[in-house]
Amino acid sequence: MLLSQEPLDRVLGDRTAKSFAKHLGLKTVADLLMHFPRRYSTRGELTPISELPIGETATVVADIVDVSERRMKGRAGSILEIRITDGHGFMSLTFFNQAWRQKELRVGARGLFAGKIGSYLGKLQLAHPDYELFPDEVADEDAKRWAQLPIPIYPAASTITTWAIQRAMAVVLDTLSPIEDELPAEVVRQHNLLSANDAIHKIHRPEIHDDWQRARETLKVHEAFLLQATLLKRRIENQHVRTTSRVAKSGGALAKFDAALPFELTKGQIEVGAQLQEDLEKTHPMNRLLQGEVGSGKTVVALRAMLAVADAGGQSALLAPTEVLAAQHFASMRKVLGDSLADEIGLTLLTGQLNTADHKRALLQLVSGKAQVVVGTHALIANRVEFFDLGLIVIDEQHRFGVEQREALRQKGKQPPHVLTMTATPIPRTLAVTVFGDLDVSTLSELPKGRQPIASHIVQLNQPALVARAWQRIAEEVGNGKQAFVVCPRIDEDDPGVELIESGGAAQEDQTFLDGTDEAAAEFAKKPRQPLASAIGMTESLKNVPALSGLAIGTLHGRMSSEEKAEVMGKFQNREIDVLVSTTVIEVGVDVPNATVMVILDADRFGVSQLHQLRGRVGRGTDPGLCLMLTTAEEGSIALERLSAVAKTTDGFELSEIDLELRREGDVLGESQSGGRSSLKLVRVVQDAKLIQQLRIDAEKLFEVDPTLEKHPLLAQTLELQDQVRQTYLTKV
Ligand code: ADP
Ligand code: MG
């Protein structure tokens, strides 16, 4: 569907176009045509004047009984007042400075009047109503038909009403040249669709309700098909991008690492490992998503791939979402590699917090190629960071990085590097196809042998005995030489409770994308309740809990400097701290196998995926883990439902499905996930899962017979155009 990219000012005039751009973000004819109604109402839902509800929008059929124009008191301008009646009640319509309307609004005329019902000096009135007059000799039939015409209601802005949009749409539609169908005829037939042209006209100007319903269905298929085609096209194009093949040589770093590994790789780790080696040996870049349950050992798999690249003379960069995680990856890699192997491959850490000398040294190591494996944060993306020969990028916990950041790092290779993205938040199949259809996906479903189960329980705050028992459990674990986490939703009393994540802007959005914390927040906002627990406040309170007296209690949160955080994490790792009170800084990847119990305060403030990630911090050693979720959420609330889901299962895939269901639709495709503004308008990934999968198959069939889209030039053009729109958007970010 190639819609005109003509700027709106040429069609609507300067002023209207400017305000449409400013308030609705609509700049071209295509933008406007793709601004679909939110819903449709009917004029047929008519209300007698005597029963009009003040403050609501209503429509009446009435006759004009009086017309008068008067000057406004004390200032320039006039008011046109029209009295109307439906035979029982009376009301007035007012127009400011629109005396010209007297020409059509004459005594005796009959029509429909719609608008928001107000009252002025105790009398009902409609200010600047929308109206449509009947022809003088209107047949009852016509009046009825007109009254039942669906009226599109558009997403509007405070300064641009849905009617203004409707009028602009009419101007555009009246002069529009026919829209050609870009969909393969086969798909149109199979899904029994309207033509693209009919669909665009009927979604905006339906005559009966069935019109817009079919139009929506049709346009939905267009949207889903185009998305799948885009993803498949990217995938096919990627096959043609050339890069260096990286073949691990025998007796190299990888071989040494494998020989010294203190544990046995799981079956999954071996399989995925082989898959990665195969990818790396190819001459087109790998673009793979590795998903695996928290603790399933993704890092080892990634490290082995990085060692293979090192053996082949290339460099690898592991991008971690936070300073804490980067430092921890660095430390644990050094440990698992052993000092000599770590030195041999020049294992290097690069974060924004290094002092100048260390930073400079790290940069030199990278540009000279001495550092074959580097671990870092978004500092790796900075302009002055140069690699000698970047062969592989590993992105840990993908949801914290936007498409743009990924792209920036990719640009640093002489040739496009291989990319491995890891996530512990499993992506439901439905969503994976929708958003990550251009990636290959590997899954680690099995946990390493001996990994202990995590038991999760909800503790309601109105059960003081159970709360006391929670602290008691911590004391018992510490008594057995173990450690504990206490997680709070905010840092201190001044913190509204949304922690800033160090990796920057995109993280915030992605956070809501995955967690549904928005919804939690909305529900929370409804009623006043006890203040949220804070990490700093809780540290103090815990010192006064008798059961915990004598324990070493530490604090960790995102407002501490990296040195402070590293110091605290170091102490926790060395067991100098028994109980670590923290915010969600510890959410991803933190690996302290000796920690066995976690208490989460105000657990209802966290999303399903987030809770699952959090509790994955315990039970990583040889002892079972325990997660206690404290909450004030009431029986029957969504919040409690969410917590029960988390308590019931530790299957991340199941939870991610539940999360999707509980989460508001619109948040599903975060901007950074879908790659730009042109994200989905009509398709809903959950409800439309079947449709999406069907269209995936349809798109695959098409590319099979016509991989370059030679025989479908209009489709090729449409995809091209979509990409351009996305590109301009990305460069503006
Ligand atoms: P995640 O998938 O959550 O990133 P990690 O890679 O951090 O998991 O692994 C968690 C812990 O399990 C680490 O301490 C790691 O050394 C250990 N581990 C990884 N693979 C195995 C294995 N096959 N057997 C035993 N322990 C393993
Ligand atoms: Mg990890």
- CA-294 nearest atom, ligand 1: 3
Going by C-beta distance under 8 Å and a sequence separation of 6 or more, which residues neighbour residue 266?
Answer: 296, 297, 444, 446, 447, 448, 449
- CA-265 nearest atom, ligand 1: 23
449 alpha carbon to ligand 1 midpoint, in Å? 10
Long-range contacts of 254-262 (CB under 8 A, 24+ apart): 254/304, 254/307, 254/308, 254/310, 254/311, 256/341, 257/303, 257/304, 257/307, 257/337, 257/341, 258/304, 260/338, 260/341, 261/336, 262/336
Using CB atoms within 10 A of its CB, is residue 595 exposed (0-12), middle (13-18) or buried (19+)?
Answer: buried
Q: Kindly tell me the number of DSSP H helices and DSSP E strands found in the chain.
A: 27, 21
297 alpha carbon to ligand 2 midpoint, in Å? 7
494 falls in which pLDDT band (50, 70, 90)?
confident
- Give residues (CB < 6 A) around ligand 1: 263-266, 269, 292, 294-300, 424, 448, 589, 591, 620
Within 338-463, residue ranges assigned H as helices are 339-344, 356-368, 403-410, 429-436
- CA-336 nearest atom, ligand 1: 16
Torsion sign across C-alpha atoms 470, 474, 475, 480 = positive
pLDDT one-digit tens code per residue, 219-276: 999 998 998 898 888 888 877 888 889 988 888 999 999 999 988 999 999 999 999 9
- CA-298 nearest atom, ligand 1: 2
Q: Rounded to the nearest 10 degrees, how much is the dihedral formed by the CA atoms of 338, 340, 346, 347? A: 10
The arithmetic mean of pLDDT across residues 420-433, rounded, is 72
Q: Which residues of 687-706 are buried (b: 16+ CB within 10 A; e: fewer)?
A: ebbebbbbbbebbeebbeee
3-state secondary structure 206-235: CCCHHHHHHHHHHHHHHHHHHHHHHHHHHH
- CA-301 nearest atom, ligand 1: 6
Give nearest CA residue, ligand 1 atom 19. Answer: 297
**Ligand closest to the CA atom of residue 396:** 2
Going by C-beta distance under 8 Å and a sequence separation of 6 or more, which residues neighbour residue 657?
Answer: 428
265 alpha carbon to ligand 1 midpoint, in Å? 9
User: 483 versus 692: which is more confidently predicted?
Assistant: 483
For the chain, domains (ranges, CATH) are 1-42+149-177 (no CATH), 49-142 (2.40.50.140), 178-240+692-733 (no CATH), 259-444 (3.40.50.300), 454-662 (3.40.50.300)
553 forms beta bridges with 579
Angle, to 10 degrees, between the axis of helix 517-526 and the axis of helix 638-648? 140
CA separation for the pair 511, 170 (Å, rounded): 40
**Ligand closest to the CA atom of residue 616:** 1
Residue 429 has pLDDT above 70, yes or no: no
Torsion sign across C-alpha atoms 131, 132, 134, 135 = positive
38 falls in which pLDDT band (50, 70, 90)?
confident
Rounded to an integer, what is the distance from CA 361 to the centroid of its chain? 37
Residues 647/458, Cβ–Cβ less than 8 Å: yes
665 alpha carbon to ligand 1 midpoint, in Å? 34
Give nearest CA residue, ligand 1 atom 5. Answer: 297
What is the longest distance spanned by two Cα atoms in the chain?
A: 98
488 falls in which pLDDT band (50, 70, 90)?
very high
289 alpha carbon to ligand 1 midpoint, in Å? 18
Helix (H, G, I), strand (E, B) or coil at 689: helix
* pLDDT winner (highest mean) among 244-253, 267-276, 499-508, 580-589: 267-276
Going by C-beta distance under 8 Å and a sequence separation of 6 or more, which residues neighbour residue 609?
Answer: 425, 514, 515, 655, 656, 659
pLDDT one-digit tens code per residue, 642-695: 899 899 988 877 887 777 666 543 333 333 333 333 356 788 766 787 888 899
Among 257, 261, 263, 329, name the best residue to mutate to test ligand 1's pocket (greatest count of ligand atoms within 8 A of Cβ). 263
**Ligand closest to the CA atom of residue 620:** 1
CA separation for the pair 368, 625 (Å, rounded): 45
Residue-level pLDDT at 581: 96
Among 271, 294, 300, 590, name the best residue to mutate to test ligand 1's pocket (greatest count of ligand atoms within 8 A of Cβ). 300
**Ligand closest to the CA atom of residue 595:** 1
In this structure, of 424-438, 509-523, 526-540, the range with the lowest mean pLDDT score is 509-523
**Ligand closest to the CA atom of residue 397:** 2
297 alpha carbon to ligand 1 midpoint, in Å? 3
Cα 351 to Cα 431, 565, 589, distances in angstroms: 32, 14, 17
Residue-level pLDDT at 74: 79
pTM metric for this prediction: 0.64
Percentage of residues of the chain with pLDDT beyond 70 = 85
* pLDDT winner (highest mean) among 116-120, 170-174, 247-251, 411-415: 170-174
Helix (H, G, I), strand (E, B) or coil at 473: helix
Give nearest CA residue, ligand 1 atom 13. Answer: 297
Helix (H, G, I), strand (E, B) or coil at 118: strand
376 alpha carbon to ligand 2 midpoint, in Å? 14
CA separation for the pair 528, 524 (Å, rounded): 8
Q: For the beta carbon of residue 39, count every other beta carbon within 10 angstroms.
A: 11
Q: For the beta carbon of residue 186, count every other beta carbon within 10 angstroms.
A: 11
Among 591, 615, 620, 650, name the best residue to mutate to test ligand 1's pocket (greatest count of ligand atoms within 8 A of Cβ). 591
The arithmetic mean of pLDDT across residues 273-280, rounded, is 96
- CA-297 nearest atom, ligand 1: 6
